[in-house]
Amino acid sequence: MKKQLVSGLLVAALCGVYTTHNLSQATAAVTATATADAQTTKVLAAANAFLGTLSAAQKKAVSFAWTDSAQRARWSNFPTGIVQRTGLRWGDLSATQRTALMKLLAAVLSADGLKMVQQQMDADEVLKNTERAGRLVFGSAEYYVSFLGSPSTTSPWTLQFGGHHLALNATVVGSNITLAPSLTGGQPVKYTLNGKAVYVVEKEVKDAFAMVNGLTAAQRGKAVISTQSIDLVLGPGQDGKTLQAEGLPGSAMTAAQKTQFLALIKDRLGALNANDLAEKMTAIQKNLDKTYFAWYGPTTTGSAAYYRITGPTVLIEFSPQSMGGDATNHIHSMYRDPTNDYGAAWTK
């Protein structure tokens, strides 16, 4: 298990939601107890190895101040042409630099998380080759990396990586890493590459429909809010906002349903490395009775439906998009931690 921060920092996590403005104004008063463990030491080494492959000009382009609130929030589901990202562009990196960056992502993420990133970048290549883009720019070249703060064993820093339908914000503070907030999904999420069929969100979709269809009629009456799907509520540009929990609480689920509920949550959070994931899942399980499952849309397996999970330390959204044809093949997803987006609870 991860080493814990001093009690004062943990208490801060319970005091409310922090915005990027709060973060930019706060002094990162992380005490000496917030030191790296084996996992974050591995991440730090990979970060420094990647930075070591860069020229002076590239290091300047990739580096932002920890207090740069504009850069912190400069992520989106939109492609280049609508949103201009900053940092270093994947398409401008050498083969050596790309390899080093992937090793850094592999240190932060799980094997499944890294696979998801690669599949989303591949999906954008498929989109580039099938869509009339106009002023929009698709493709794996249009993914960007940046750092907020300098990689450190004690001072906070964030690795940002993303592009169209992908925004990873991995904040590292001592022995702790969070991916909150992060946007995933993709278009298309179902495609064929080198003769192999790919379905990026297959397990999550399967588990979500199993969850809703495993409920009793009375439980579904609480969980299903509407027969119409909706868009993300706490997506890009919505930092610092909260949602009133709705739907079916964990307290109204059977033991088997709670196990199923935790598995669905892990489908999304499992993008994070196992060491840091364990801590997140422990906190979620502790508060599972106060965690809600809500559904918008039809419940027929394979339909275009939105679902949301709202708990004290987790917010998950899954939203199909009708733009571009089949809504089940264009997904916007969000993960947030109401207590700790961008590591706010660890640095306030």
**What single letter denotes the amino acid at residue 7?**
S
- In the block, tokens 């609870």 appear at 345
User: How much is the pLDDT for 139?
Assistant: 95
pLDDT of residue 34: 66
Contacts of 203 (CB under 8 A, 6+ apart): 267
Q: Minimal CA–CA distance to 181: which of 121, 237, 255?
A: 237
Neighbours of 31 (CB within 10 A): 12
pLDDT tens-digit series, residues 165-174: 999 999 999 9
Can you give the pLDDT at residue 28?
39
Question: Looking at residue 133, what is its pLDDT?
Answer: 67
The pLDDT of residue 167 is 98
Token couple for 149: 């703060």
Q: Which residues of 109-144 are buried (b: 16+ CB within 10 A; e: fewer)?
A: bbeebbebbebbbbbbebbbeeeeeeebbbbbbbbb
CA angle 142, 71, 28 (to 5 degrees): 135
Q: Please report, rounded to a whole number, the percentage of residues in the chain having pLDDT higher than 70.
A: 90
Can you tell me the distance from the alpha carbon of 49 to that of 39, in angstroms, rounded to the nearest whole number?
15
> For residue 167, what are the β-bridge partners?
162, 183
pLDDT band at 316 (very low <50, low <70, confident <90, very high): very high
Do 124 and 138 meet the contact criterion of CB atoms below 8 Å apart?
yes
> What average pLDDT does range 222-231 have in this prediction?
97
Q: Of how many residues is the chain composed?
A: 348
Q: Which two tokens stand for residue 89?
A: 């562009």
What average pLDDT is seen over the chain?
91
Question: Residue 332 above 90 pLDDT?
Answer: yes
User: Residue 84 in contact with residue 251, Cβ under 8 Å?
Assistant: no
Amino acid 3: pLDDT: 41
Contacts 24+ apart (CB under 8 A), 101-105: 101/50, 101/145, 101/161, 103/46, 103/49, 103/50, 104/43, 104/46, 104/47, 104/49, 104/50, 104/159, 105/161, 105/168
pLDDT at 5 over 50: no
Tokens of 23: 């973060």
Amino acid, single-letter form, for residue 322 = S
- Based on the number of CB atoms within 10 Å of its own CB, is 105 exposed (0-12), middle (13-18) or buried (19 or more)? buried
Closest to 272 measured CA to CA, from 184, 186, 347, 188: 184
Q: Please state, as a whole number, how many other Cβ atoms lie within 10 Å of the Cβ of residue 169.
A: 23
- Which ranges of the chain would DSSP assign to H, the alpha helix? 7-12, 20-25, 38-51, 56-62, 69-72, 95-108, 111-130, 202-213, 217-223, 255-269, 274-286, 344-347
Confidence band of 135 (pLDDT split at 50, 70, 90)? confident
What are the structural domain ranges in the chain? Answer: 7-192, 199-347
pTM over 0.75, yes/no: yes
Q: CB–CB of 178/337 below 8 Å? A: yes
| Tokens read off for 4 | 């814990």
